[in-house]
Amino acid sequence: MKTAILIDLKFGRGHVTPASDNWQLKTYASMIFQSYDVDFCRCIIFQPRLGTVGFSETTYSREDLADFPLLLKNIYENTQDGIQLHAGEKQCKFCDAKGVCPEYASWTGKVSNAVAKIEHTHALSINELTDALKQTAQVKDFIKQLTSQVSAIENVAREKLIKNEVSPEQIGYMLKVRKGVRKCSNPQEVFNLLNDVIGIEKFMSIVDLSIPELESLYAKEAKEKGLFKSQKDAVKALAETIAPFIERRSDSYSLEKLGE
């Protein structure tokens, strides 16, 4: 008896349909039976980023999938008289056609309207809250796509204005200069210039030290001096050394979908 092993290595963090119910793997297994002289196909989904939760497997015999190619053929033929699009969270999630799919646009429009119409959010029952969260996830996804599309369009307009390829009158937009945030390039020199007015302690109290930059500088210098084996060890030691002087701004909470 010969067994083929099919491994679908998925790098995302989103939960996928387990191997036993997964039509993508079933299709691959069916193709393996058509192409190779094997009796079984062991199908494995492995998502390393999810640890053990990201592992599922199933095994098909040649007989299990004997009718599957016909089923796929029927599905394909049924789409030839005019494709029936059925938008939904699961099927559209990874579809590249979202930007141009009318069904998707109409579906997201309906979901967005439903979210906009939710009233008395503080009084939602747990079931209503769960449903509303599903809808908001969809709306957020849609907004993300729209935002990226809007940015792409605005970038083109900005570039064309910068290069004088179009005039403000032609497109109805002009360039507005937004001044960059001021940053002190040499605090030591500034202190030297002001120390007859501002003492060192008061001056240092307003110097805003960037912890990531300090970590990176310390790790580099300490490694060059041979004080630590790796930059990671250096950063760890630094964190312990300066811990009494590090304050964290208050923690905040955000929502994260389970399994992501």
Distance (Å, whole) CA 106 – CA 95: 15
CA–CA separation, 255 and 164 (whole Å): 44
Bridge-based pairing state of the strands 3-9 and 40-46: parallel
Q: Does 139 participate in binding ligand SF4 (rule CB under 6 A)?
A: no
Residue 146 CA to residue 140 CA, distance in Å, equals 10
**Binding flag, residue 75, ligand SF4 (CB under 6 A):** no
Q: CB 107 → ligand SF4: shortest distance, Å?
A: 7
For ligand SF4, the closer CB: 56 or 138: 138
Phi first, then psi, for residue 3 (nearest 5°) are: -125, 130
> Is 141 a residue that touches ligand SF4 (CB under 6 A)?
no
In the set 17, 24, 91, 147, which binds ligand SF4 (CB under 6 A)? 91
DSSP H or E segment with residue 42:
strand 40-46
Q: Which is nearer to ligand SF4, 47 or 108 (CB)?
A: 108
Tell me the one-letter amino acid at 53: V
Check residue 111 for interaction with ligand SF4 (CB under 6 A): no
Residue 87 interacting with ligand SF4 (CB under 6 A): yes
Choices 88-96, 111-119, 146-154, 227-235 (CB under 6 A): range interacting with ligand SF4: 88-96
- Only segment of 70-78, 92-100, 190-198, 200-208 that touches ligand SF4 (CB under 6 A): 92-100
68, 72, 73, 77: CA torsion to nearest 10: 150
Q: Which residues bind ligand SF4 (CB under 6 A)?
A: 85, 87, 91-92, 95, 97-98, 101, 103-104
